[in-house]
Amino acid sequence: MTSADIAMVTGASQGIGREVARQLAAAGAVVYLGARDPERGRAVARELSAGAGDVRFAALDVTDRSQVDALAERIEAEYGRLDVLVNNAGIGGTRPAVEETTADDFADVMDVNLLGAVRTTHALLPILHKSKRPRIVNVTSGRGSFSVNDDPERMESQLHGLVYPVSKTALNMLTYQYARALPGFLINAVDPGFTATALNNHTGTSTAAQSAATIVRLALTADGPSGRLFDSTGEVGW
């Protein structure tokens, strides 16, 4: 059995997830690259393996429990454990004005951004328990932080919306509660910042490589805090 970290990254065929997979592989981890699109996912895994290390495509739609369960069975069969889970898969959804937002607008976004993380974490917990130092990093957003939104110096305080911010606030609490319930784990959330990705039509001010760095650092750390929210500057208030 390899002594290298075995890592799983969801939503990893593009943007921040792709860069997290690349950086983890470059650091020596065996990386399962989760992607909904098999053609794109296989192509990215091949590309990263050629340049960074051991990256393996894993068919994964986090809204599909059968795919999540199959992934858990595959990793257990191949390595018997999982050391790192990065819940990166996320969507922005439609963004109607606050007064025009209905309950129906939440369904798809919550299914991916919150319940997708629950499905994946729940399925992989048995093999995470087999790691000597299991780590989970949930990729969130400053838009889901009360502290960030309440800071007039932050861009997020000027934005209005319900669906995406609420989904990320829920993911933050999910992170906090998992960390409380699993003291043997390191479980944290990371706000990658305003990153140039498809989620914002590549208007962000940070590159995917820059934004992935904090995620990767927490994913690889041997010791440290758990149940906290971080960005590139350090710990941030919930």
What residues act catalytically?
A: 164
β-partners of residue 57 are 33
The end-to-end CA distance of the chain, in Å, is: 38
**At residue 205, what is the residue type?**
T
CA distances from 137 to 50, 117, 217, 218, 238 (A): 26, 10, 10, 7, 15
Distance between CA atoms of residues 26 and 204, nearest Å? 25
Distance between CA atoms of residues 96 and 212, nearest Å? 29
Backbone angles phi, psi at 195, to 5 degrees: -105, 140
Q: Which residues have CB under 8 Å from 193's CB, separation 6+? A: 142, 204, 205, 206, 210, 211, 231, 232
Place of tokens 């699109």: 37
Distance between CA atoms of residues 94 and 202, nearest Å? 17
Distance between CA atoms of residues 16 and 222, nearest Å? 22
C-alpha dihedral (188, 220, 213, 158), degrees to nearest 10? 0
